[in-house]
Structure 1
Amino acid sequence: MELIIGLCAALSAGIACGVVGGGIKYRLNRNRDYPEEKKAAYQRLWKAGSTVMRFATGTILALGLIWCAGFLVVGALYPDQADYANNMSELIVGVLTVVSIMFAFYEFVRRK
């Protein structure tokens, strides 16, 4: 069980480092073809917020997939830990649902 948890933690750390590296690369390589004067300040803020929310939501969903799969394996390999694994997976899915709803609402308001 500790091996599976360690594997999930290592994958989580790898995803976190990859997202940070990708964000830095995105920030350094983006094109600025639009004139700043023609954009309102709140539109830029919403667009930046949308980018951050997209990366954050994608990262959280990827981490949730890894941890739910890890707890699925824990439940399959260690029947005495099946209730624990099931409860943790349900908790993760609940958090992912809330995060997805928040992102969908943010995008709905931004495009309105």
Structure 2
Amino acid sequence: MKFFFLIIDYSIPVFMIFSYPWWKKIANGDINQYAGMRTTRSMENKENWKKAQLLCGKYCIRVGIVLLVFVILMRSLRLLAMEWNSVLIASINSFALLVITYYVNKQL
């Protein structure tokens, strides 16, 4: 169980840090209905689409590094039980993804 929570806690920050090539590939492609940051503003035209995907990639790297440090800190401090610690980390990671979407959409 310990390794399960370890994988879950580190997966989102690590994927965010290494996801920039994927965002760049999506930005250089056509507007996609299935992948990428799909908001009404980002899908209006090709220029918005490319800008949104590249911004999202840059923010994912920055936020991913901050989240990785946060996860390391939370796992080393052990303030809560392992299960609740993972719930807190997953909630904060999910909230960070929503904040990235908000800021990118605001900049379009």
TM-score (normalised: structure 2) = 0.42
Computing the radius of gyration over CA atoms, which structure comes out larger, 1 or 2?
1
More helix by share: 1
Structure 1 length-normalised TM: 0.41
Structure with bigger RCO (C-alpha 8 Å, 6+ apart): 2
